[in-house]
Structure 1
């Protein structure tokens, strides 16, 4: 009887200690998009950084390509990209294109955070 009890205790202890602690890992692609060529980009310098804007998408030059970045808040542009929408947020008129909000100041537009 003692032998059965010892064997059962050893089996129980081994099964308890050898339980799997498996972790689920999700592999996702990188959020950065790199483009090798831009179609007629507009160059905008803001805080000593050269930004390239093409079709309403903002880029920064990296190595041999252009990396997509978020529009820098406070940068001024002379013209809005094609396809913008006029929106009102809390009674203030903004111009929105691809998630970037612009506010008109005089003859220019400023990228703002809403």
Structure 2
């Protein structure tokens, strides 16, 4: 009798043990997957090619509210050691990593417009790689190399940078706060455990 009982009980116990082990492995795998998804959702850690949930695309300027009623304007009386760059019949003055235009005897800091070209990048440029292409960021202005020149462009949605120029603006869109510079809209995110800013839209000025 003991021999018969042992013959049936041992295989059954073995099968039960295997079933429990398989189920346990399945639960662990599921938990790991869930944790990974949760982490991605909370920290927004992702590859650069993944579009943001906050992607806005092109935005009419009347939809954006600036937190300060007047736009920051920086002007100086003189621009020492300046380099003159001519574009579309207008002179721009480059000095101390900033571009200026002249108005009423003063020099006003501006962001060069899309299409503006220079022969040599400023020394403080940073290379930004996105969609297997290198762009160059200088104080919030993006350049693309065209032959032997560098042309100002609008960054692609999803491009990530790690800092913004000092004179960025805080804006509100659809009840959420974003950051704007040179008509580019950024969202603050965590990327690979570091604070960063992702391009989520371009503001069309009316």
Mapped pair 1:111 → 2:162: no
Q: CA deviation at 1:111?
A: 1.0
Q: Could you say which residue in structure 2 is the equivalent of 1:69? A: 110
- 1:47 corresponds, among 85, 88, 93, to 88
Q: Could you say which residue in structure 2 is the equivalent of 1:86? A: 127
- 1:96 corresponds, among 137, 141, 149, to 137
Q: CA deviation at 1:39?
A: 2.3
Please give the alpha-carbon distance, in whole angstroms, between the structure 1 residues aligned to 2:99 and 2:68: 26
C-alpha contact 1:55 1:82 (8 A) present in aligned 2: no
Q: Greater helix percent: which structure?
A: 2
Give CA deviations for 1:31-56 in whole Å, capped at 9, x if unaligned. 11101111221212222221111133
Structure 1 segments unaligned to the other structure (5+ residues): 1-25
Normalised to the residue count of structure 1, the TM-score between the two structures is 0.69
Mapped pair 1:34 → 2:75: yes
| Cα RMSD after superposing both structures | 1.9
- The alpha-carbon distance between structure 1 residues 27 and 98, as it changes in their structure 2 partners (threshold 3 A), is closer
Normalised to the residue count of structure 2, the TM-score between the two structures is 0.40
Question: Which runs of 4 or more aligned residues in structure 1 lie more than 4 Å from their structure 2 counterparts after TM superposition?
Answer: 26-30
Alignment: residue pair count:
89
C-alpha contact 1:79 1:109 (8 A) present in aligned 2: yes
Give CA deviations for 1:54-90 in whole Å, capped at 9, x if unaligned. 1331110011210011112111111111111111122
Q: CA deviation at 1:30?
A: 4.9
Higher relative contact order (CA 8 A, sep 6+): 2
